Amino acid sequence: MASSRLPTATFSLKQFLQRQKVLGLYRTMLRTIRQVPNENDRKYLRDWARDEFQRNKGATDQDAIRMMITQANMHLQDLQKSLALAKS
C-alpha cells in the first residue's frame, strides 16, 4: 500500500487554516526569492527559507506559530522592499 502524504493526526479548523497560511507564506517567499537577480543570493535565501520552515515544522504552540508567521511576514516585506528599491 502506498504511503499517504496526509498527516496521521486530524487538525482542528483553526490548525488547518493556520497550516494553509504557513504554506501560502512559504510559497510567496519562494516566488519572491526567484526575483532576486544574483544567483548566489537567490540560493542563499532559498536555502535559508527552506531551513527555517523545516526547522519549525514540528511546532505545536499556537502562540509561537503566530509569532513565527509574523516574523516571516516581516522578512518577506523587507525582501519585497529591497527588490522594489533595486528595480528603481
Tell me the pTM.
0.82
Within-domain flag for 4: no
Within-domain flag for 60: no
Within-domain flag for 3: no
Position 6 scores a pLDDT of 65
CA pair distance 66, 86, nearest whole angstrom = 30
Within-domain flag for 57: no
Within-domain flag for 56: no
Q: Cα 62 to the chain's mean position, in Å?
A: 16
Which burial class, exposed, middle or buried, applies to 15 when counting CB atoms under 10 A from its CB (0-12, 13-18, 19+)?
A: middle
CA pair distance 8, 26, nearest whole angstrom = 22
Per residue in 11-66, pLDDT (tens digit) is 888 888 999 999 999 999 999 999 999 999 999 999 999 999 999 999 989 899 99
Within-domain flag for 44: yes
CA pair distance 6, 22, nearest whole angstrom = 16
Q: How many domains does the chain have?
A: 1
Within-domain flag for 73: yes
| Radius of gyration of the chain from its Cα atoms, rounded to whole angstroms | 15
